[in-house]
Amino acid sequence: MTEAASMFSDGKAYERMMGRWSRVAGTTFLDWLDPPKGQRWLDAGCGNGAFTEEIVARSAPAAVSAVDPSEGQIAYARKRPAAQHAQFEIGDAQKLDFEDNSFDVAIMALVIAFLPDPARAAAELARVVRPGGSVATYMWDVEAGGTPISPVGAALKSLGITPGQPPNPPASGRDAMQAFWDNAGLVDVETRVIRIPVVYSSLDDFWDSNIVPIGPMGALLGKMTSGEREQLRARLREQLPIAADGSISYDAVANAVKGRVKP
């Protein structure tokens, strides 16, 4: 298992922390991509299958192959209703085990900043898609503080603690994505920003959702003492936009890119 895969081994915890927000952003992404019905899809880095389920529900695919390096995430994904229409397998977006021209559409959802070599992944997606087919990705804007868990990072920084981040934050930038797609030889390349509301019923809801052993931030939080965690909770209470009714809401921001394989 890769380092990134080991950070995302708990599909259920990921669903509460990130899966619900990835689906909201994913619906906007799919509307923007707007592929024809009856296409053959590849979901590279499918995680726990949250986005794969959106593909099945919204895009009426002929078939979906979904791969991820995490055995735990794939096990969770196989329990979803989408598993009736999608094939979930262990796999690496940077080294896809598919023949050339195998798909009509290939996407990566919230993956690119976790890859050591995003350019290789872009080239691999382009390789397995037929001429004229679509290749696309979206990722929270990590460096701009656009992730749903960015308030946790801001609170940690205010306490003098460097927050956990994906291994390749610059890859989440809009210009970086454009360059990866251009360099992969894709044509008609477009980018856009996706902004979604993130809402919690209370500080307890926020805390229970985000202070979990998932991803780089989770790895850091798992090493903190109980006293340090209490300090973090107190700082979040100070910094979060908590409304009079106790609810918390703010925006998360993702960047997206799409292009076509040259006909």
Closest CA to 185 of 259, 85, 80: 259
Q: What is the mean pLDDT of residues 29-39?
A: 96
pTM to 2 decimal places: 0.88
Q: Which two tokens stand for residue 128?
A: 């397995």
- What is the predicted pLDDT for the residue at 198? 94
- What kind of architecture, by CATH, is found in domain 3-147+167-197+254-260? 3-Layer(aba) Sandwich (3.40)
pLDDT tens track for 168-214: 999 999 999 999 999 999 999 999 999 999 999 999 999 988 887 77
Question: Could you give the CA distance from residue 195 to residue 12 in angstroms, rounded to a whole number?
Answer: 24
- What is the predicted pLDDT for the residue at 196? 94
pLDDT tens track for 183-196: 999 999 999 999 99
pLDDT tens track for 141-172: 999 999 999 999 999 999 999 988 889 999 99
- What is the predicted pLDDT for the residue at 211? 81
Q: Which residue has the tokens 């985000």?
A: 210
Cβ-based neighbour number of residue 112 at 10 Å? 26
- What is the predicted pLDDT for the residue at 11? 54
Beta bridge partners of 198: 250
Mean pLDDT taken over the chain: 91
Q: Return the exposure string of 123-160: e unless at least 16 CB atoms fall within 10 Å of the residue's CB, then b.
A: bbbbbbbeeebbbbbbbbbbeeebbbbbbbbebbeeee
pLDDT tens track for 220-243: 888 899 999 999 999 999 999 999
- What is the predicted pLDDT for the residue at 19? 65
- What is the predicted pLDDT for the residue at 210? 85
Question: Could you give the CA distance from residue 171 to residue 140 in angstroms, rounded to a whole number?
Answer: 10
Query: Does pLDDT of 71 surpass 70?
Result: yes
Query: Does pLDDT of 121 surpass 90?
Result: yes
Question: Could you give the CA distance from residue 253 to residue 128 in angstroms, rounded to a whole number?
Answer: 29
Query: Does pLDDT of 9 surpass 60?
Result: no
